Amino acid sequence: MKLLKVIGIAFVALVLLVFVMVLALPDETHISRSVVIDATPGEVYRELVTFKNFNDWSPWAARDTATVYTYEGPELGVGTKMTWVSESDDVGSGSMEIIEIKPDALVKTLMKFEGFDSSPTASYIIESSDGGTQLTWTYDELGVSGIGKLFGLMMDNLLGPDYEAGLQSFKERLESAPEATSDISLTSVEGFDYIGISSTVDPALISSVMAQSYGTLFGYTNLNGVEMAGYPIAVYSDYSENSTSFICGLPVSDATEALPETIDRYSMPSTTAVKYLYKGDYSGLESAYKELGDYIAFADYEITGDPWEEYLTDPESDPDTANWVTHVYFPVK
């Protein structure tokens, strides 16, 4: 009986010791892994601000190819959410939602895992570095209690290797992307109204027809006091060697006056678009379309509408073509 009493006291003491040790453990978990990528901060950010290509480099995607993914919210930015359902214990079920962004600097996500009450966050911190861009992937969980603190101690060893594998895969993917001579970004475009003139002409006549069309449009806005709500645009619906169909347009805040027969009202719907920043004479825009096409194919985006050009520079105000800035947009999903 005395032995049993001693054993009982020792067991209680051990339980109390474990309890005290657990109380003394930190109530938060943090891990971090980094990699340097031969790419610009903008290129890194472009890939992380959406879940479109997450499974192209995710360390968990190949563990259960039967995993079902669903997407909610916008295509990119805050509110973008990916949910997954898997019967594999290595993958489980859960969701990730982007909750904070800082262009070219930070993407922060909130995670939920089925069967767990915690809501950890994962952040991608993007910083310029020698050799390109340093990408740091973090995991943070606050308010850890009880036995969860013991798991927190093991999290670095449990999750760290997956983070390292994911970052290496992300690096290899991004460094294999087609090269571009200018900035390509993924952006959300708010819908807008515009007035425009539609034309179908021989490609050799595009410049002269555009000059005439914009002259008519500006004449209408000036004469009727219509306020412009953006830069001039050209929307292309068809292009071939022998014929090009396009609309020369001016975004406007209001166009209540009766329109001439040659001018119509149009609406550009809200969309997600790949945008190319082009500088130079308009004759070189063909290279922008080629690089945009290469990137869209690489990223496996689906083009969802007609491309358009946005002209930020007035050639009459600045005749130096080296200063001309044009944005080229392709709506995608």
Average pLDDT of the segment spanning 99-103? 97
d(Cα 56, Cα 69) in Å, to the nearest integer? 13
pLDDT, the chain, mean:
89
Predicted local confidence at residue 40, as pLDDT: 95
Predicted local confidence at residue 256, as pLDDT: 62
pLDDT-derived band at 158 (thresholds 50, 70, 90) equals confident
Return the CATH fold of 184-331. Answer: Multidrug-efflux Transporter 1 Regulator Bmrr; Chain A (3.20.80)
User: What 3 state SS string does 162-227 have?
Assistant: HHHHHHHHHHHHHHCCCCCCCCEEEEEECCEEEEEEEEEECHHHHHHHHHHHHHHHHHHHHHHCCC
Q: Tokens 């895969």 map to which residue?
A: 169
Average pLDDT of the segment spanning 162-175? 97
Low-confidence winner among 12-21, 160-169, 246-255, 304-313 (lowest mean pLDDT): 12-21
Give pTM, 2 decimals.
0.84
Predicted local confidence at residue 90, as pLDDT: 85
Predicted local confidence at residue 21, as pLDDT: 43
Alpha-carbon separation of residue 45 from 106, 123, 165, 251, 304 (angstroms): 8, 12, 19, 29, 22
At 300, which amino acid appears?
A: D
Contact 327, 310 (CB under 8 A): yes
Average pLDDT of the segment spanning 157-166? 92
Q: What angle do CA 150, 154, 156 make, to 5 degrees?
A: 140
Predicted local confidence at residue 143, as pLDDT: 58
Domain locations in the chain?
A: 27-175, 184-331
Contact 50, 186 (CB under 8 A): yes
Predicted local confidence at residue 161, as pLDDT: 94
Q: How many residues comprise the chain?
A: 333
Return the CATH fold of 27-175. Answer: Alpha-D-Glucose-1,6-Bisphosphate; Chain A, domain 4 (3.30.530)
